[in-house]
Amino acid sequence: MVTCLGDLEATCLALLEGRSGVAPLRLGDPGKLGVTHGYEIQDGRPGSRPRLAGDWLADCVAEALRDAGVDPARRRVAVVVGTGLRELRGVEQWHADGTPLHLTQLHFREAVRAAVPEVTEVHTIANACAASGYALALGADILELGDADVVVAAGCDTMTESMLTVIGKVTDGTSDMVRPFDEDRPGVLLGEGAAAVVLERPEDVPEGRPTLGVLRGVGLTCDAYHETAPDRAGIVAAMRQAHEYAGTSPDDIGLVVAHGTSTGLNDPTEGAALLEVFGPDGPPVTAVKGAIGHTSGGSALMSVLVALTAMRAGTVPPVVGLRSPMPEAEKLGLVRGAPLRARPRLAQVDAFGFGGVNAVTIVEASDD
């Protein structure tokens, strides 16, 4: 994983310390965009190169396969990439100043195969902010059907002036930080980066090889309730479907990593959905966007990695940026101010996108 705070280890450490990667925006003209801050990756790439999410993605996919000890030359490896914007930033640079861009770069096949040429297939799913949750679900189906021996589920997005303009148009005033579930939440800000995990059937994992955890199930709904506004019923349906597929009940869940966008509609809707499913005595709830921003297509998978790391470490990070919980979230078990010492076995991870595209993931802690 790579975010504005660094790799997975660095990002989780910052979350535990309550640090945020927000900074004054470098991309575009803040006065025209209506956005002054963001969660950008400072990677020092030459300005003559298009700023492509595929570069981060390729690094994450290759590293995930190395960490898992999987040789794609010896096994059938499929890659499923979830994204919200694909390579829109590259298109913007091409349009603005003629920065070279090939049509093949708009799909992530070329980027992935440049790093791992032996993979058998690369799929791109453009499912808004739930995209990498959908990638997990499709990856599990590919394994279940026997169409691959190993699947890399991934997600990525980079910041674009087009999306920043949208944020600037729909936010009242200007936001200096994402504050999930806060009474005075100022609105969402964009982040960027990529994440990747390797999926294997349990019986195919060599004895003694450590694993991050177990994917128990992913609930998917596409309620098409509104172009941008979330629907509580659609979100609840995704949560209940996730538990049905995972063979779990709400009482089994020891941690929720919420979507938590800091927006006027998402946070109260998600809060109400969580209360409907879990009741007022539900599990601890945290969220990561105050630290890394809204990473669009990669956000679901990044939250999954944070959940698995927290369960392994026995420490749940607080909701960075949260000061005073909004009334709709006061009955949630929000982790505030400091990390929570806990060792849950099961976690629920929420991800919701425009158009009612929802993905809710249930993961189990590993015994390794």
Point out the residues that are catalytic. Answer: 129, 259, 294
Q: Which residues contact 240 (CB under 8 A, 6 or more apart)?
A: 219, 277
**E strands, 8-165, where?**
23-24, 37-38, 77-83, 121-126, 150-157
Q: Which residues contact 44 (CB under 8 A, 6 or more apart)?
A: none
Residues in the chain: 368
Strand 77-83, strand 150-157: pairing: parallel
The residue among 242, 80, 67 whose CA lies nearest residue 156 is 80
Contact 132, 298 (CB under 8 A): yes
300-328 b/e with 16+ CB inside 10 Å = b? bbbbbbbbbbbbbeebbbbbbbbeebbeb
SS3 content of the chain, % helix, strand, coil (to 5): 40, 20, 40
66-82 b/e with 16+ CB inside 10 Å = b? eebebebeeebbbbbbb
d(CA 285, CA 304): 13
The residue among 358, 252, 365 whose CA lies nearest residue 316 is 365
d(CA 217, CA 348): 10
The residue among 184, 175, 186 whose CA lies nearest residue 323 is 184
Work out the burial of residue 275: count CB atoms within 10 Å of its CB; fewer than 13 is exposed, 13-18 middle, 19 or more buried: middle
Contact 37, 22 (CB under 8 A): yes
Looking at the DSSP bridge assignments, the partners of residue 353 are 357
The residue among 159, 180, 191 whose CA lies nearest residue 27 is 159
